[in-house]
Structure 1
Amino acid sequence: MNEIGAPRESAPRLPRAFWALWVCQLVNRLGSFVQPFLVLYLTQDRHLSAGTAGAVAAAVGAGSVVSQVVGGWLSDRVGRRRTMLLGFFGTAAALILLGSARSMETIWAAAFVVGLMGDLFRPAVQATVADLLQPRERVRAYGLLFWAINLGFSVSTVSAGVLASIGYSLLFWINAGTSVVAALVIWRMVPETRPVLDEGPRRSLLPVALRDTTFLLMILIQIGYATIYFQGYSTLPLVMAADGLPSSTYGLVIALNGVVIVVVQPFVSRRLATYDRPKLLASSMLIVGLGFGLGAVVHSWWGYGLSVVVWTIGEIGFAAVLGAVLADLAPVDLRGGYLGLAGSMSFGLGSVIGPLLGTNTLEYAGRATAWLGCAVLGIILFVAQLALAPSLHDRARSAAAATAAAGS
């Protein structure tokens, strides 16, 4: 599965600005305390009902859905650096407002702004990586960012429980503080990388993206992937509970996802960069689907743990290569918008479709159908991604030629 013409020499050193982005991702995730504990804070500290607390959490999700689209648009219009600074400083302010809010109106508004600001930086970071690096270097770079996110989140989920026992307000202030630290790193170490164009005003995103059949098909495939992936956070805990396993066991089993990523990712990132990207993407989605499909035949904690390990291996390959593939698809002048639209549409819609489809299939058709459906969908995505590979290769060659021409 090695990519034709893939370099065999040692990988080049990544620039200082990239490592600044890596630190930002790590710091931001190390302080991601509030969202996992938001419902507990609202019910225990603010004494809201479970339904109201869930609706407030949904307001954060609603902000997140539009966040990447807005972030991508801003990164193309006002610059990557300004967008990241707005996102990090805005997140800090919104978290402090949410933690001090007393009226329901303020809580609702602050929750939405937390979601809106919280993901604003993502397409700007991805676009900056694509601006800084040559196409052959991007897989390794995106893989390292993915590793930083999971390393930080693994630490934060453990430490957040300890801090919450001291007081929920501490979670908000530390989370806001880490956002400020991330902003200061951007301020000091990351230059503006948005390409300067000479051919006049920038094009509008949607008219271009909606005519890009390859890009739209990629989004459709990624929605399918996200539909499978979110079964780990919706259907899986319900099935494990039906098998008589306590929620603490589910917590330990799903924690294997982060552990495997943190342990395995650093050792495979350079190797993954040598593979054919569309084929790796297709194989990774197949592994994820089959990993979830194991749920049809397991009933013990170790069986579910094996399932998580299998689909996590697929997730590592998927996450490492997806950003590079999308960066090749994106026109230079709309790079941020393309990446933001892809992230919002695929995982935004997948986070809605996945839980609804999985839990309803579980309720009305049974667990075997739910898990085997994941396996079948993984096979369909594998075939669809392979069918799209020639078009993706053509776009990658065009992107590489344009980059070479711009550098000459």
Structure 2
Amino acid sequence: MNARADAPALPRAFWALWVCQLVNRLGSFVQPFLVLYLTQDRHLSAGTAGAVAAAVGAGSVVSQLVGGWLSDRAGRRRTMLIGFFGTAAALILLGSARSMVTIWVAAFVVGLMGDLFRPAVQATVADLLQPRERVRAYGLLFWAINLGFSISTVSAGVLASIGYNLLFWINAGTSVVAALVILRMVPETRPVLDEGPRRPLLPVALRDTTFLLMILLQIGYATIYFQGYSTLPLAMADDGLPSSTYGLVIALNGVVIVLVQPFVNRRLSLLDRPKLLATSMLIVGVGFGLGAIVHSWWGYGLSVVVWTIGEIGFAAVIGAVFADLAPVDLRGGYMGLAGSMSFGLGSVIGPLLGTNTLEHAGRTTVWLACAVLGAILFAAQLALAPALHARARAAAAVPAPSPS
């Protein structure tokens, strides 16, 4: 079968979303350099700067919940515009803030506005495309994010040497550009429903056993994944490798995604989604598990390459799986709840478990635990496959409502 020939063309509105993701990531300068800015330019203590960064994280956790709710109530397009324009304003406020109260408030609002668009984008893709087309579309968005972030991490260091204020203004400018693309090229896609007012999200989601189990599995995946940004640099330091080596090794993650994703994305869209998801989780666990037997830079580099391959498969299919699970009238809310609960909690649980296990039980235990957890997730995801297939068939059988 020729995947390229059989794949239908994606609509213009999707490519506008793709451009938004790329532009938004190209300008993502502030968050990676926020602590350095606060300590070097604002002369705050490391502890205070870390707490301000945590305020951004707290806003991000709330952001996807609010974004999902807004996209179902106010509309996908309006939510994205609020998020992008709001992010630009919050970044300018944070970059010009002098008092600690203003810095705290601006940091939280940056986090709150910064992820508001994510569930709206995911819901829009699900609105625009048939189920069989979504894996390819979500994979392309994932590639755009990583392409933009790879470029921004290189250029941000150069721009920071000129002046931190420049980072805030360019980051805000790219948010405005993304908003203008939405304003010009993306129509409202929120379905029009005939059965009356929209249902509240939580009562429906909390009774959805398959959805809740998927969130639980995704928390497990995120727990493994975030070892790459918490436990891995500490383990490499214990092996006598400098922080610059960690930077080069972790950069392989973005390089592999940018180089590999375009060539495998169409093929991934043809595979069984639950099996691909299960296999991807296993590969990520095995990739981190290699840390138990490596001590050199190239060994850690191999580990990163392996778990990045798993990440590519996971990222391509997870959005499509949750789109199949989401009721049409609660699509944005489901996407927001999934993102907030899974990666939000995973970003807290993963670093806490990993670093404490490293301190008290040693590096071998950490990496073997990642491999074991990956195997458990693999088995659990396969066990959940029949339920996911049934939900996918039911979703495909429902005629798409017209957009509002």
Deviations 1:347-392 (A, max 9, x none): 0000000000000000000000000000000000000100000000
Identity of aligned residues (%): 90
- Contact 2:191–2:402 (8 Å) recurs in 1: no
What is the CA distance between 1:301 and its match in structure 2? 0.1
Q: Tell me how many residue pairs correspond in the alignment.
A: 401
Deviations 1:41-95 (A, max 9, x none): 0000000000000000000000000100100000000000000000000000000
> Cα 1:285–1:374, aligned 2, differ >3 Å: closer, same or farther?
same
2:8 is paired with a residue of what secondary structure?
coil
> Cα 1:22–1:193, aligned 2, differ >3 Å: closer, same or farther?
same
> What is the alpha-carbon distance in structure 2 between the residues aligned to residue 198 and residue 303 of structure 1?
58
Specify every segment of 5 or more residues in structure 1 that has no aligned partner in the other structure, as ranges: 1-7
1:356 is paired with a residue of what secondary structure?
helix
1:326 is paired with a residue of what secondary structure?
helix
> What is the alpha-carbon distance in structure 2 between the residues aligned to residue 166 and residue 18 of structure 1?
36
The equivalent position to 1:61 in structure 2, one of 57, 65, 77, is 57
Deviations 1:257-279 (A, max 9, x none): 00000000000000000000000
Task: Give the aligned partner of residue 256 of structure 2.
Answer: 260
> Cα 1:51–1:249, aligned 2, differ >3 Å: closer, same or farther?
same
RMSD of aligned Cα (Å): 1.4
What is the CA distance between 1:304 and its match in structure 2? 0.1
- Contact 2:215–2:341 (8 Å) recurs in 1: yes
| Superposition TM-score, scaled by structure 1 size | 0.97
2:352 is paired with a residue of what secondary structure?
helix
Deviations 1:222-241 (A, max 9, x none): 00000000000000000000
> Cα 1:99–1:404, aligned 2, differ >3 Å: closer, same or farther?
closer
Runs of 4 or more, structure 1, over 2 Å off, are 403-408
- Contact 2:190–2:403 (8 Å) recurs in 1: no
What is the CA distance between 1:403 and its match in structure 2? 3.2
Deviations 1:169-206 (A, max 9, x none): 00000000000000000000000000000110100000
> Cα 1:160–1:213, aligned 2, differ >3 Å: closer, same or farther?
same
- Contact 2:53–2:107 (8 Å) recurs in 1: yes
> What is the alpha-carbon distance in structure 1 between the residues aligned to residue 269 and residue 184 of structure 2?
30
Task: Give the aligned partner of residue 116 of structure 1.
Answer: 112
Specify every segment of 5 or more residues in structure 2 that has no aligned partner in the other structure, as ranges: none
> Cα 1:216–1:407, aligned 2, differ >3 Å: closer, same or farther?
same
> What is the alpha-carbon distance in structure 1 between the residues aligned to residue 226 and residue 275 of structure 2?
23
In the alignment, is residue 147 of structure 1 matched against residue 156 of structure 2?
Answer: no
> Cα 1:406–1:168, aligned 2, differ >3 Å: closer, same or farther?
closer
In the alignment, is residue 19 of structure 1 matched against residue 11 of structure 2?
Answer: no
Task: Give the aligned partner of residue 394 of structure 1.
Answer: 390
> What is the alpha-carbon distance in structure 2 between the residues aligned to residue 125 and residue 100 of structure 1?
30
Matches of residues 64-213 of structure 1 in structure 2 within 5 Å?
A: 64-213=60-209
2:6 is paired with a residue of what secondary structure?
coil
What is the CA distance between 1:404 and its match in structure 2? 6.5
> What is the alpha-carbon distance in structure 2 between the residues aligned to residue 227 and residue 11 of structure 1?
34
What is the CA distance between 1:407 and its match in structure 2? 12
> Cα 1:407–1:192, aligned 2, differ >3 Å: closer, same or farther?
closer
> What is the alpha-carbon distance in structure 1 between the residues aligned to residue 53 and residue 231 of structure 2?
19
User: Which has the larger displacement, 395-404 or 83-92?
Assistant: 395-404
